[in-house]
A and B are shown apart, each in its own frame.
Chain A
């Protein structure tokens, strides 16, 4: 393979959309699904849980502790555990990754709510907001920049962690790595790396854009605060 070029474009062209389960396009699609669904689920779970942890502080330490234990487990171990429950399906990747995103997103929600200045909270109370409306219209909106920061980390790490799922046959673009190693053929590996990095950069860029649009007030607030 010494004369072999690092990237064989003809292989990419042939395998981009070859109709089979190992087509690059198919792997890319399943990678996106397996990476982003955990982030969506994680956010949906982390919002109420984070609000609860911020409201009842005693809940936060055990929750954060548990999430950190989960986070410290090698992802492969977690995949193996769920393998016995959900079998060789995408769920076996999606469920553990959801736990990983929770470990990032719950603290982000708690910190976000903690970033609401006390005088803002106080004045909301004094204006006559009831608790739920205050949460939805004042506290959560003000927490958005911090939560989005967490969301960026969770998204990028989820995109990267999906690849490990290849070891149980559900790795999206990660399958390209296994294919490449087994055959000592570098093109799929390079394609996998490039696509994963592109995916991460693109997702992160979209989240930054969302932050600009959602919180036009936040950049400068940091400047003045």
Chain B
């Protein structure tokens, strides 16, 4: 766990980058720092591995004050992924990945063997190992950056806008890959981004920071969407909060009806379309075991009759969700899933008291 205790960073010119920040990034989870530029998110991140030292306050890494550890030693125990990958242009990919093992004094053979393992883990062809960074695409370089950060198997991973310099399609796949990796590795990750959608997609916990380094709200993504602490957070979250929140509601609770006669399926009961006079009409499907309510709703909107087709993992029809069935679940979640789930005296979302008063 990473704990910020009243951390402030003030520069000699008087600028306050981070103001009295207190929060915890839980072990084995992804904590995202998100906010507009100038909100101190990167500064906060860099204070963890002491690339920047706090003016006051403490940062604890599992109860140990980071200020008590010699910076290079501290950094070798913390993975770091930087925006433009920051690969060493003069080193081959395999040696880039093996950077921290080399620094830790592993022998070359062992370090390279570990690097090859990691290249595979992040989904890179082992033939790239002997190339130089310039010979790789931006997305591939970023994967190498992640592999390099993981090379010495650090428990903590700091990621500073790692995917912001790649195009949206590559970014989406890198995000998926990170979530997949995390489901296996369970690192304590602090991830900085200015992209609220990325924050909501990746974060187990999202800390929204406002300019001047104040924590505006810290909460899980669903809570953030349903209960923004103030206007700043609401505005920062942007439009469609209600719809986006449905991404966090599993579709499992949707009542399924039997397959209507006008749904045409193939011999494996995979859907082909809705029967009509002019031929087959388009349709939408969702998997109640895996998809969210948002996906179910989307499936309904894709069908001219407003009925979403539920399928199993192999794409076979297992039933349909009518508009009424979806309405029932939507009604349950209209006030937000967290308000129902929360204990009466449960913890309110973390808010900035100064802002709440005004």
Give the interface of A toward B (CB within 8 A). Answer: 117, 119-120, 122-130, 133, 138, 141-142, 144, 215-218, 220-221, 223-224
Task: Pick from B75, B82, B132, B158: contact of A217, CB below 8 A.
Answer: B132
Q: Are A119 and B83 neighbours in the complex by a CB distance under 8 Å?
A: yes
CB pair A128–B134 under 8 Å, yes or no, is no
A216 in contact with B80 (CB, 8 Å): no
Q: Cβ of B134 and Cβ of A223 under 8 Å apart?
A: yes
A-B contacts besides A122-B51, A128-B100, A220-B132, 12 pairs, CB < 8 Å: A120-B88, A122-B82, A123-B80, A123-B82, A123-B88, A124-B86, A126-B86, A142-B88, A142-B90, A217-B132, A220-B135, A221-B89
Contact between chains at B103 and A127 (CB < 8 Å): yes
Interface residues on B, range: 20 to 34
- Residue contact A119 to B82, C-beta cutoff 8 Å: yes
User: Contact at B87–A126, with CB atoms within 8 Å?
Assistant: no
| CA distance in complex: A192, B73 (Å) | 59
A-B contact pairs, 25 of them (CB 8 A): A117-B86, A119-B82, A119-B83, A120-B86, A120-B89, A122-B82, A123-B80, A123-B82, A125-B51, A126-B75, A127-B75, A128-B72, A128-B76, A129-B72, A129-B103, A142-B88, A142-B89, A142-B90, A216-B132, A217-B90, A217-B133, A218-B89, A218-B90, A220-B135, A221-B132
In the complex with contacts A119-B84, A127-B99, A223-B134, A217-B72 CB distance below 8 A: no
Interface set, chain B 65-120, CB cutoff 8 A to A: 71-76, 80, 82-90, 99-100, 103
What chain A residues lie within 8 Å of B133 (beta carbons)? 217
| A217 neighbours in B (Cβ, 8 Å) | 89-90, 132-134
B residues near A (Cβ < 8 Å) are 49, 51, 71-76, 80, 82-90, 99-100, 103, 132-135, 145, 148, 158
Q: How far is the CA of A124 from the CA of B88 in the complex (A)?
A: 8
Alpha-carbon distance between A43 and B135 when the two chains are bound, in angstroms: 31
**B132–A125 CB distance below 8 A:** no
B contact residues around A224 at 8 Å (CB): 134
Complex alpha-carbon distance, A133 and B49, angstroms: 19
- For A119, A124, A215, which residue has the most chain B Cβ atoms within 10 angstroms? A119
Q: What is the distance, in angstroms, from A196's C-beta to the closest C-beta of chain B?
A: 34
A128–B80 Cα gap in the complex (Å)? 10
Check B88–A221 contact: CB distance below 8 A.
Answer: no
**B76–A127 touching, CB < 8 Å:** yes
In the complex, chain B residues whose CB is within 8 Å of the CB of A117: 84, 86, 89
